[in-house]
Chains A and B, each alone.
Chain A
C-alpha cells in the first residue's frame, strides 16, 4: 500500500480552481518529484500535503489514516522552503532545536540530536550564528537540518535550491540525495528544473494544468514520453504526424518510415531530438531519409544548430562541427528508426 495517497483532490478558489480531481500515490522510501512550470499546481499540491491549506474536496491518506483535516502542527512532516524561512531572531542552534522544543524533548537529548544533525549537514561550529550571518548555501543546510531533526514521517521540499547559484545547486542536490538515502526518508520535491529533478528522484510526476501528465522513473520519462507536452519538456523539438497505412507508417507526404519501438494504434505524433537527427550533404536516398533545405544556422559552441525545411515541416538539428552547411544548401536528414518516439494521438 502506498505511504501517501491523494484521492480526488480539488483545490483553489471558485474562480481559480488549481487542482481538479487530482490523484497521487507515493511509496514508502521513495524520492518523488513534482515537475512543472509555474502555475501547474505543484506547489499547491505540496502545501496541501503539508497542511498549510485544505482541499475543497477529496482525501489525503497517510499510512492508512485519513489526515485531510489533521492540523499542520500534528502532521510531523518536515518542510523545506524556497526562502528557507529560518527564524531570524534565533541562532542556528535554536532554529534547529525549535521542533524538538515543541515536542518537549529533554535538554540533553535535544542538544545531542541538534549537534548530530548539524554535523550531518556539515555545519558543526556554526550553532551560535544567526541566519543573517550565513551564506545562502549554509542557510539552506540549516533549513534542511531543522526539518529533518524532528525525524519527520515525510519530507517536503518546495524548490529548495532555486535561490542558489548553479554550482551550489548541483552540489546541494547531491547532498540532499545522499542524506535521503542515508536516513531513508520518503520525500516529495517540487521543482521546475528538469535536470535537477531527474538527477535526484526515483519517480518524477510531470504536471501540466493541474494534472499529472506522466509519473515514471526519470529514465522512462526521458526515453518514452507519454504526451507531446512531456516530450517537449524532456528535449524533443521535432514533431510530425505518422499514420499507419497497410502495415507501414507513413508521413503526411507519403514517405514510409521505419520505427524500432512500435506502439499499437493507427495515428501518431512522432518526435525526435535535435541531437539524434543525422545530416548528409545533398539529396541522398536511403532508409528513413528525407530531403530539406537549410534555413538558419546558429553557432552554439560545441555544435551547430540548423533549422531545415522539409516536406513534413521544419526540423531543428544540432550537429558537430566536422561538416558545416551554409544557408540554402540542400541536405538529407536521417531519422534513425531507433530514435523516433511514437505518441498516440
Chain B
C-alpha cells in the first residue's frame, strides 16, 4: 500500500517537465502538423506534394542532408583521435577537456563572424595560400558550402568529443593492454577494442552533430549565400520574407522527420557494430 503510494509520489516529479513539454512543444508541434495537412478544413497532402515536386526544395533538401552528413563525418574523424588522446594519454585531462569545449562558450554568431575574417579575401588563409604561391590570387572561401561545412564542424566538434570521451573513459585501460599482450599493435587494439566499444558515444555524438547541423540557423545564414540555402534558412524565408506560414511549417515538418529518421539509422548501424551496446 505504502509502496504504491510511494511510486505515485515519484511520478509527481516528472509532472512539471511533462507539463512544460506538452504545453510548449507537443501541442504547438501538433498544431503545426495539422496546419500543413488541412486546407479550409479538408484533409490534403498538397502542401507536401508541392514541396516534393519543387526542384528548388529538392536542391535545398539535398544540400541540408549532404552538408549535415559531411559535417557529422568530419566531426567523427576529427573527434575520435582527439577524444582518444584526451582519455588515454593526456596527463592534464581537465585542461584538455576545457580546451576542447572552449568554443562552446562563444555564440555561434560571433564564431561565424570570426570565420568571415579568417576565410575572407584578405583573411589569413588566403594570405597564406597566396604567400606560399599555391594560388596567384585569393580564392573565394566564403559564402559557399565549404565555409558552411567549416562553420558546422567547428560549431559541433565539442559535442562529438564530449560524447566520445564519455564512453572512452569507461573503457578500462587493461582491455587494450590485454589486446596488446595477445599480439595486437596499438592500432589494431584501437580498431578491434576501443572503436567498437566507443560506438555508443559515436552515435550519441553523431546524432547531436547531425541534428545540430540540420537545425542550425545562424551559421548557414552568415556563412552561406542565397544560392546555398538549407532547410532552416528556407523556413525563415518562407515564414518571414514570403509570409507563407503553412509552407514554412511543411518544411519544418520535413526537417523533423528526416532528422529523426537519420538518427534512427545511426542507432541501427551502431547495434550492428557492437551488438552488446545497450
Contacts and interface: CB of A to CB of B under 8 A. Distances in A.
Interface stretch (B109-117, B202-210, B231-239, B269-277): B269-277
A132 B278 CA distance: 13
A88 B197 contact: yes
Contacts of B188: 102
Interface string A85-117: 111110000000011001100000000000000
Interface in A141-158: 146-147, 150
B182 interface: yes
B133 interface: no
Interface of A: 50-52, 71-79, 81, 83, 85-89, 98-99, 102-103, 130, 132, 146-147, 150
A102 B276 CA distance: 22
Interface in B99-143: none
B185 A73 contact: yes
Contacts of B276: 88-89, 130, 132
Nearest to B196: A89
Indicate the member of A86, A89, A98, A103 with the most B CB atoms within 10 Å. A89
Interface stretch (B4-12, B147-155, B170-178): B170-178
Interface in B153-202: 172, 174-175, 177-185, 188, 192-193, 196-197
A73 B275 CA distance: 27
Given A81-B174, A85-B177, A76 B277 contact: no
A78 to B, nearest CB: 7
A51 B276 CA distance: 30
Interface residues of B, number: 21
Contacts of B197: 88-89
A102 B180 CA distance: 10
A130 B276 CA distance: 8
Given A85-B172, A88-B197, A98 B182 contact: yes
Contacts of A150: 182-183
Interface of B: 172, 174-175, 177-185, 188, 192-193, 196-197, 274-277
Contacts of A78: 181
Given A75-B181, A85-B175, A102-B184, 11 more contacts: A52-B177, A72-B177, A73-B185, A83-B172, A85-B172, A86-B178, A89-B275, A98-B192, A99-B183, A146-B178, A147-B182
A81 B178 contact: yes
19 contacts: A50-B181, A51-B180, A52-B180, A71-B185, A72-B177, A73-B185, A76-B183, A78-B181, A79-B178, A79-B181, A81-B178, A83-B172, A85-B172, A85-B177, A87-B178, A89-B196, A89-B276, A98-B184, A102-B183
Nearest to A143: B178
B170 to A, nearest CB: 11
A329 to B, nearest CB: 56
A150 B174 CA distance: 18
A161 to B, nearest CB: 16
Nearest to B185: A73
